Amino acid sequence: MLARAEVRRSAMSGASAVVALSTLLALLLRVHRLAAPVLRWDEGWSLAHASLPWSELWCVATEEWHPPAYVSLLKLWLVAGKDAWSLRYLSVLLGVLAVPLGYRVARAWSGSAGVGVLSALFVACWPLLVYYGQVARMYALAALAVLAAAWYMLRDLRTGSWRSGLGLVGSATVALYSLYHTAWPLAAIWLYAALLRPRRLPRLLALGGLTLAAYLPWLVAARHTLAMRLAAGAGGDPVRSTLDTLPAALEGLSFLYGARPHTGAVLAAVLALGFGASLLTRPRLRPLLLPILALALSVAGTAYSTRAYWFAARHLVPASPFLGLALAWALDRLAARSWRLSLAAVVLLVTMYWPTGAHFVYEKTLEVTDPFDPAEDYQYLSAHTGPNDVVYFNALARAGWYENLRRPHDARWSYAMRWDPIIESLDRIVGRLQSRSATCRALWFALYKGDFGPNAPLVGWLNANLYPASGEWRGDMLYLAFVAPARDWRAVPCDARFGSSMRLCRARWSSEAPPGGAVTLELTWQAEEPIARNLKVFVHALDGTGRLIAQHDGIPAAGTRPTDTWRPGEEICDRHGLLLPANGAGPGEVRIVVGLYDPQSGERARLPDGRDAFQLCTIPLRGLS
């Protein structure tokens, strides 16, 4: 008896040492090249979302694809820094914690320390878990929470204590608040327990009810978004669409990307051989219900959900530890027949997956294939905006890229989301703009895809209600700046004739401006006869020495009324904003001159006296020291 106990203690000590080494290996694999590549689109979204005030964080989460548990945790984590390494290290820690937990789950499930050690090694090294253990998203948290739920369920089946029950409810709730796709392995955990212990069904139902009650506030808060997503996938044949997606789901679970040819067949063969070896001890097959149910429900559920939500391998991250359970079981059964056969299977799997684990995992190409530069927004905006400006992004991901590089003296940012996955109502956006416009110099808009699609109503409102001060395309991005209407105006009638047919008949402008502030102007043009050419209006601000310090050029009426569309006698209202520099404006006042020019040749329209610009006014600068 003493000798047997000593052997058992020795085996446990050896298992603990291997698990500790596996945990260290998991850390090393996940910190390798952690700062590279640059932040991906979804990671930018995570940073921006976590940077919002708590009330806005919750509100945005109700309208996007994922519940708020991870971004809430990330918001607390941001004290560690917002660079790529610091952001991703939270996922590293969550992924590393899953290694000893994977051991405990596997050992409690199988009763074998060997299966536990193999499962811990799987969690440490499986490419899918390493890949998303380096990404600033919710997948590592979801996998950890599902593993915790499995651990507490196994404990509850053994002890039935209130602590295990509360642990099960708490971990399952965290999983559901992290990722919708955790519902599949969680359902499998409950189903496994019901099949294994039918007499405990009332307790299982009670624990499930408590979990749903804890999740109910979120379901109520996100009900409109969930209904919209489900309605979007309601058409077509659900069976056909699910079957069509099953191969991709199986490939994602097996994570064959970048692996050697026939890796999937090798993995299937190892599992089949191990399960075949288990047939010799039929009663020992019952525990296999847990990984089989978890994998089957997760693959089928993920394939089915593609009707409302596109497929991605990352959706199977919460289920992948159960593949580890099955594989650990299979290798342990093979080892019971022949340790050489089990070792050969491990070596073969490592060889087949080596390109994936050594290279593909760290390239992070699943989310993005086209070249992109997450620094482009910051590079442009930091060069053009001032510290008293606010930048609005129509896609929260790009706000995160900007926040990643933003310094204290850079412009603050907010959001006016008009691009997938969130299309905010204009009323909400307008309320946000109006609350900021009176306290800042200019409102900048970084619009992904410019004024296309759902962005068009926003740009239309801005042009109709604010004063355009800048506009420039850079690739897929349109950068616009607008100034709020002046509080105090000066207005004069004028009669400045340009060419033979254009007349500036009225104008009004800001009565004063501070250095580094903004000037707004409203020009009223009139055509005396049809105009054949399409001319641009320019508005220049000059300092006391005649030096140009600010300007705005544009097609009249924010591009909506080119001069060749003017009808004789019609009055065209044309708005402009000027962003003055904080320094170098000279003392006292700025002079405002206006005119028109041909954008093709650069030739300006002339006044009757031969001048090519009309001095409209002088505006005093206030607040000079």
**CATH number of the domain that 541 lies in?**
2.60.40.10
Segment 509-527 shows an average pLDDT of 91
Do 543 and 515 belong to one domain? yes
State how far the Cα of 498 lies from the Cα of 604, in Å rounded to an integer. Answer: 9
Do 187 and 42 belong to one domain? yes
Do 119 and 216 belong to one domain? yes
Chain position carrying tokens 């509850």: 156
Do 470 and 510 belong to one domain? no
Task: Indicate the number of domains in the chain.
Answer: 3
Chain position carrying tokens 């070792």: 343
Q: What percent of the chain has pLDDT over 90?
A: 80
**E strand or H helix at 35, and its extent?**
none
The answer on pLDDT for 5 being more than 80 is no
Read off the pLDDT band of 516 (50, 70, 90). confident
- The answer to whether residue 267 sits within a structural domain is yes
State residue 93's pLDDT score: 98
- The answer to whether residue 625 sits within a structural domain is no
State how far the Cα of 302 lies from the Cα of 280, in Å rounded to an integer. Answer: 33
Do 354 and 390 belong to one domain? no
Q: What tens digit of pLDDT does each residue of 367-387 get?
A: 776 778 999 999 999 999 999
What's the CA angle centered on 274, arms 272 and 276, to 5 degrees?
65
Confirm if 327 and 303 have CB atoms less than 8 A apart. Answer: no
State residue 276's pLDDT score: 83
The answer on pLDDT for 35 being more than 60 is yes
State residue 369's pLDDT score: 64
- The answer to whether residue 229 sits within a structural domain is no
State residue 587's pLDDT score: 56
Of 35-49, 280-294, 358-372, the least confident: 280-294
What is the DSSP annotation of 136-196? SSSHHHHHHHHHHHHHHHHHHHHH--HHHHHHHHHHHHHHHHH-GGGHHHHHHHHHHHHHH
- The answer to whether residue 452 sits within a structural domain is yes
Read off the pLDDT band of 625 (50, 70, 90). very low
State how far the alpha carbon of 487 is from the alpha carbons of 231, 558, 601, in Å.
47, 21, 38
**E strand or H helix at 400, and its extent?**
helix 396-405
State residue 624's pLDDT score: 40
- The answer to whether residue 20 sits within a structural domain is yes
Do 322 and 412 belong to one domain? no
**E strand or H helix at 472, and its extent?**
strand 467-474
- The answer to whether residue 371 sits within a structural domain is no
Do 339 and 393 belong to one domain? no
Read off the pLDDT band of 308 (50, 70, 90). confident
Do 144 and 265 belong to one domain? yes
Q: What tens digit of pLDDT does each residue of 58-81 get?
A: 999 999 999 999 999 999 999 999
State residue 11's pLDDT score: 56
**Domain termination site, one of 332, 363, 394:** 363
The answer on pLDDT for 280 being more than 80 is no
State residue 2's pLDDT score: 47
Q: Which domain holds residue 450?
A: 376-483
Segment 38-60 shows an average pLDDT of 96
SS (H, E, C) 408-420: CCCCEEEECCEEC
Q: What tens digit of pLDDT does each residue of 428-437 get?
A: 999 999 888 8
Segment 84-104 shows an average pLDDT of 98
Q: What percent of the chain has pLDDT over 70?
A: 96
**Domain termination site, one of 363, 395, 411:** 363
Confirm if 278 and 285 have CB atoms less than 8 A apart. Answer: yes
Do 332 and 194 belong to one domain? yes
Do 608 and 463 belong to one domain? no
Nearest Cα neighbor of 382 from 370, 391, 373 is: 391
Do 586 and 478 belong to one domain? no
Segment 521-539 shows an average pLDDT of 93
Q: What is the pTM (predicted TM-score) of this model?
A: 0.92
Segment 523-550 shows an average pLDDT of 92
- The answer to whether residue 553 sits within a structural domain is yes
**Domain termination site, one of 427, 459, 483:** 483
Do 9 and 59 belong to one domain? yes
Mean of the per-residue pLDDT values for the chain?
92
